[in-house]
Amino acid sequence: MSKLITLIIDDKQVEAKEGERLLWVALDNGIYIPHLCDLRMARRTVASCRLCFVEIEGLPNPVTSCTQTVSEGMVVRTRSPRVDRLLRTGFELLLSNHRLHCAKCAKNKRCELQKIAKERGLKLKLTRLRQLVKEAQIDESPGVFCYDSSKCVLCGRCIWADQEQVKVGAIGFIRRGIGRKVATFEDGLLADSICTQCEACVKICPVGAFYLKEDERKPYKIKKEC
Amino acid sequence: MNSVSPAIEQAYQLLRAEAQQKTEILKEKPVILLGTATCGRAAGAMSVLAAFQDEIAKHQLDVVLRETGCMGHCYAEPLAAIFKKGFPPLYYGSLDEGKARRLVNDYLVNDDPCYEFAMVALEPNDFFPTFDDYPRGIYEKRIILADCGLIDPEDIDHYLARDGYSALAKALTSDPAWLIEEIKTSKLRGRGGAGFPTGIKWEACKNAHGAPKYVICNADEGDPGAFVDRALLESNPHQLLEGLAIAAYAVGAKQCYIYVRSEYPLAIKRLKTALEQSTARGLLGQNVLDSGFNLEIRLFQGSGAFVCGEETALITSIEGHAGIPNHRPPYPATAGLHGKPTVINNVKTLSYIPHIIRNGASWFTSIGTPNSPGTAVFALAGKVVSTGLAEVPMGTSLRHLIYDVGNGIKDDKKFKAVQIGGPSGGCLPESSLDLTIDFDSLQQAGAMMGSGGMVVLDEDDCMVEIARFFLDFTQKESCGKCTFCRLGTKQMLDILTGITEGRGREQDIDLLWDLAEDIKLGSLCGLGKTSPNPVLTTIRYFRPEYEAHIREGRCPALMCKSLISYHIEPDLCSKLCNVCIGSCPVEAIYTRPDMLKGIYPDKCVKCNSCMVACPPQYKAVVKLSPPAPESPVGERGSEVEQANNPDH
């Protein structure tokens, strides 16, 4: 698997190890592809955020670069009308279920959604779709951080960090469909769970769902239901 | 291999001879076969069964009464076949307790076959027409449904006596590579919906590295309006077990799973019985038919998630996790259950296997179309006269299927569309009626073979509402893992609900179309990728209906409650009848001074009761769309009131 191969991403010749995931090959070579859910260290790609689409010569449809392994002579385009359209729709869908609150958000200017919008020239507001956000329920029970499920984009990174990295197992996905969310067992408070408050989830969260209390700009004017 | 083959053949012949001897004795007596599959039970088969038992006991008759599965004619359930020496074997449909008692009294005791109750004869005779005398019989060609309803699914001897398990005996004496080659030559395509060539799947699994290998039968039939797999499991479970065993032998698997949804309790019961019986006869389990081949088949009950019909979700479900799909590749054929090579086939696909092995690949390719050989089984439902199961060769046109096999539209209404393939499929309009059915033609038209559900819609069905209904289903059944399916279906559903409730905006149709295309391309699994099909096909073929909802606030089919109002025609109302007033649950109907009836629009909940209640000779209740701003009758009523009572 360690054989070196060359491929072309956006007219740039790139060297990579055979079998590596295309997303990380591109990122390592300074070529940005929007992404939220994939982690370099994860054993299996979840492919759930559906933002990292690229076009590969010879394939009829855009593919997610996190699931695509590189091979010799592969020709990749990270931008095309179809890729841009899929990203625009996928991004707007995520925004439609994300409480837009940038100015007061703890992750302002460090948010992956803001980065994607900046890189691809997308608006951080809804242009076509309706806002679906559920009521914000902020869990402030841990000592130094908070969990705001209305900001969560369900990328699952925190669950990976919790279960695979620090091996605690305090959080996981519950429910399904539009009701799917990251929560503790029986959807209780983090402080009441087996959470060790190691902050691994805070470090890995790409948006403002898990954030440090010290980063909070101004107190939220939202009724806290804890 | 050759040294073992006589032993296998011998062991099988012995079993079959025993079974045939047993069933031969039965033929001496009158036999009643009563369909007690779920469709029959819903129509009251169990009380008919009790009536038969009671009446037979009363007359102390020596009659064999057996419960069988579904004969495919669900519209005529409860359905029984009666065999008596000296008479043609006859089907009796729409039975009730009274008819059951009369059949015993008049036919079994007194030799009058009650032709007035008979539906059709099973064999050509001089007295009564057979299926071949009806259009349905001409277009139908039964392979996997052939024995359904004619054998007792809980008695393995019935299946054995009809050469059941002979394909397994033949397979065990052959080389697995030959079996795969035979299935590849037969061009059998997966009947689960997508139509992937079964032989190629088997070959990929056989050649994949890793052991043990698994074969899984996907019996998680969740589409609204589809019931083919259920009927097969309830009517002929051994056919499936035989196919599963052949598949396992061909790919080198020793363990199989049948993933059956727990909403099919009767299917599970009959499958369990079938598994016990075939294991007891040495057709499954250790050393199958003395060939040295071991096979274990386990039942796994799904817990009700539609998405578990998707193969990667099905695998994670068996592994003990929440049923959530994973990205493909790797395909299950190379890395499936517990990361091992796994073949997943649908109930229908596996049910074809014994027939192909028994009759040869060339026999199979002689049926149907070159690229989709064989037959297709459809579950006819909706506004068609003869609902039920129909097995027709691929390449039959929709028109023949609906008008000849299904006997046309109920109540002589006008055909509007046919919804094929459940929530993953699409609605095809009248102009597509001459489309010949096979995997490729349906896909081109925007629909899908799916699980064989075929819902016929007539002029009273609103296409926007149909799209909303199916999207409501997929949205609720989305696992929520990927962005496009979780949020995209929700957004589309909100837009469609808005349109059916009169809140549609001009740009909504284009937005729906764009979203649908992106969800189709961007979703992770088959559920998301196919969920926009009902929306895409209804916009493609019925765009004017969407426009009528949005621009005029009018539902052309008078179905969307927010866009209609009820009204009583003064010219048609009889004045003297008060049926509508009695039927109204919310007291919205009143009697005017001139005795005509009126409806308060603000009180009316549009439950349709008055329309049903109004006697057919008047038909005075009508629906209006767009809704009348104020009840015209109410207005006129008050005018009349004023005219009659000048004091007010």
Convert the pLDDT of each residue in B292-337 to its tens digit. 999 999 999 998 899 999 999 999 999 999 999 999 889 999 999 9
3-state secondary structure of B80: strand
Instruction: Give me the mean pLDDT over the B345-355 stretch.
Output: 96
Which CATH class, in words, describes the domain spanning A89-215? alpha beta
Burial grade of A73 (CB within 10 A; 0-12, 13-18, 19 or more)? exposed
Helix pair B237-251, B228-235: axis angle to 10 deg: 100
Residue B400 has pLDDT above 70, yes or no: yes
Residue B373 has pLDDT above 80, yes or no: yes
Residue B646 has pLDDT above 80, yes or no: no
The 10s digit of each residue's pLDDT in B488-538 is 999 999 999 999 999 999 999 999 999 999 999 999 999 999 999 999 999
In angstroms, the CA B599 to CA B596 distance is 10
3-state secondary structure of B203: helix
Residue A141 to chain B, least CA–CA distance (Å): 27
The 10s digit of each residue's pLDDT in B407-429 is 999 999 999 999 998 888 899 99
User: Which is nearest to B527 in space by CA: B496, B494, B486?
Assistant: B486
Backbone φ and ψ for B475, nearest 5 degrees, come out as: -65, -40
Determine whether domain A4-79 maps to CATH 3.30.1600.10.
no
DSSP state of B401: I
Instruction: Give me the mean pLDDT over the B621-633 stretch.
Output: 76
Decide: B196 and B203 in contact? Cβ < 8 Å: no
Residue B91 has pLDDT above 80, yes or no: yes
| Best to test chain A binding among B491, B503, B511, B520 (most A CBs inside 10 Å) | B491
The 10s digit of each residue's pLDDT in A209-226 is 999 998 876 555 554 444
Helix (H) or strand (E) holding A181: strand A181-184
In angstroms, the CA B626 to CA B415 distance is 23
The domain defined by B18-131 folds into: Glutaredoxin (3.40.30)
The 10s digit of each residue's pLDDT in B227-240 is 999 999 999 999 99
Instruction: Give me the mean pLDDT over the B80-100 stretch.
Output: 93
Whether the CB of A116 is below 8 Å from some CB of chain B: the reply is: no
CB-nearest to B483 from A44, A94, A175 is A94
Whether the CB of B484 is below 8 Å from some CB of chain A: the reply is: yes
Whether the CB of B476 is below 8 Å from some CB of chain A: the reply is: yes
| pLDDT for the residue numbered B6 | 79
B527 → chain A, closest CA residue: A177
Per-residue DSSP letters for B341-375?
Answer: -EEEEEHHHHHHHHHHHHH-HHHHHTSB-SSSBSE
ω into B129 cis (within 30 of 0)? no
Whether the CB of B144 is below 8 Å from some CB of chain A: the reply is: no
Instruction: Give me the mean pLDDT over the A74-103 stretch.
Output: 94
Whether the CB of B515 is below 8 Å from some CB of chain A: the reply is: yes
**How many A/B residue pairs have CB atoms within 8 Å?**
90
Cβ atoms < 10 Å from Cβ of A216:
16
| pLDDT for the residue numbered B643 | 43
**In terms of CATH architecture, what is B564-644?**
2-Layer Sandwich (3.30)
Instruction: Give me the mean pLDDT over the B594-616 stretch.
Output: 92
Which ranges constitute the DSSP H helices of B478-525? 483, 489-500, 508-522
Give Cα separations from B603 to B200, B437, B561, B565, B584 (angstroms).
62, 48, 14, 11, 10
Whether the CB of A69 is below 8 Å from some CB of chain B: the reply is: no
| pLDDT for the residue numbered B634 | 45
The domain defined by B463-552 folds into: de novo design (two linked rop proteins) (1.20.1440)
The reply to whether B18-131 and B564-644 are identical in fold is no
Interface of B with A in 317-356 (CB under 8 A): 322, 324, 326-327, 329
Instruction: Give me the mean pLDDT over the B397-412 stretch.
Output: 93
Tokens for A182?
Answer: 């990251």
A130 → chain B, closest CA residue: B491
Cβ atoms < 10 Å from Cβ of B262:
13
Decide: B445 and B454 in contact? Cβ < 8 Å: no
Residue A56 to chain B, least CA–CA distance (Å): 15
In angstroms, the CA B15 to CA B11 distance is 7
The domain defined by B375-458 folds into: Ubiquitin-like (UB roll) (3.10.20)
Tell me the longest C-alpha to C-alpha distance in chain A: 56
The 10s digit of each residue's pLDDT in B169-212 is 999 999 999 999 999 999 999 998 888 999 999 999 999 999 89
Instruction: Give me the mean pLDDT over the A82-103 stretch.
Output: 93
Asked whether the beta carbons of residue B480 and residue A97 sit closer than 8 angstroms, the reply is no
Whether the CB of A129 is below 8 Å from some CB of chain B: the reply is: yes
Domain(s) of CATH 3.30.70.20: residues in chain A:
89-215
Decide: A107 and A207 in contact? Cβ < 8 Å: yes
The model's confidence at residue A94, banded by pLDDT at 50, 70 and 90, is very high
The model's confidence at residue B370, banded by pLDDT at 50, 70 and 90, is very high
Residue A120 has pLDDT above 70, yes or no: yes
Taking CB atoms and an 8 Å cutoff, what residues of chain A touch B476? 177
Instruction: Give me the mean pLDDT over the B3-23 stretch.
Output: 85
The tally of CA atoms less than 13 A away on the side-chain side of residue A210 is 25
Residue B478 to chain A, least CA–CA distance (Å): 5
| pLDDT for the residue numbered A217 | 66
Which ranges constitute the DSSP H helices of A145-219? 157-160, 200-204
User: Which is nearest to B340 in space by CA: B217, B252, B258?
Assistant: B252
Instruction: Give me the mean pLDDT over the B99-128 stretch.
Output: 92
Residue B4 has pLDDT above 90, yes or no: no
Residue B149 has pLDDT above 60, yes or no: yes
Asked whether the beta carbons of residue A89 and residue B484 sit closer than 8 angstroms, the reply is yes
Domain ranges of chain B: 18-131, 164-365, 375-458, 463-552, 564-644
Residue A143 to chain B, least CA–CA distance (Å): 30
- Average pLDDT of chain B? 91
Determine whether domain B164-365 maps to CATH 3.40.50.11540.
yes
Per-residue DSSP letters for B262-327?
Answer: TT-HHHHHHHHHHHHHHHHTTSSEEEETTTTEEEEEEEEEE-S-GGGGSHHHHHHHHTTS------
Whether the CB of A154 is below 8 Å from some CB of chain B: the reply is: yes
DSSP state of B557: T
The 10s digit of each residue's pLDDT in B45-77 is 999 999 999 999 999 999 999 999 999 999 999
The alpha carbon of residue B337 and the mean position of all alpha carbons in its chain are separated, in whole angstroms, by 28
Taking CB atoms and an 8 Å cutoff, what residues of chain B touch A61? 521
Whether the CB of A97 is below 8 Å from some CB of chain B: the reply is: yes
Asked whether the beta carbons of residue B521 and residue A179 sit closer than 8 angstroms, the reply is no
Backbone φ and ψ for A8, nearest 5 degrees, come out as: -120, 120
Asked whether the beta carbons of residue B511 and residue A47 sit closer than 8 angstroms, the reply is no
Q: Give rounded-to-5 percent helix, strand, coil for chain B.
A: 45, 15, 40
The model's confidence at residue A137, banded by pLDDT at 50, 70 and 90, is confident
Whether the CB of A176 is below 8 Å from some CB of chain B: the reply is: yes
Residue A214 to chain B, least CA–CA distance (Å): 31
Beta B415-420 vs B453-458: how paired, if at all?
antiparallel
Residue A218 to chain B, least CA–CA distance (Å): 30
Whether the CB of A174 is below 8 Å from some CB of chain B: the reply is: no
Backbone φ and ψ for B140, nearest 5 degrees, come out as: -80, 140
∠ CA B130-B134-B135, rounded to 5°: 145
| pLDDT for the residue numbered A226 | 43
Per-residue DSSP letters for B422-443?
Answer: GGGSEEEEGGGTTPBPSHHHHH
Tokens for B607?
Answer: 């439950």
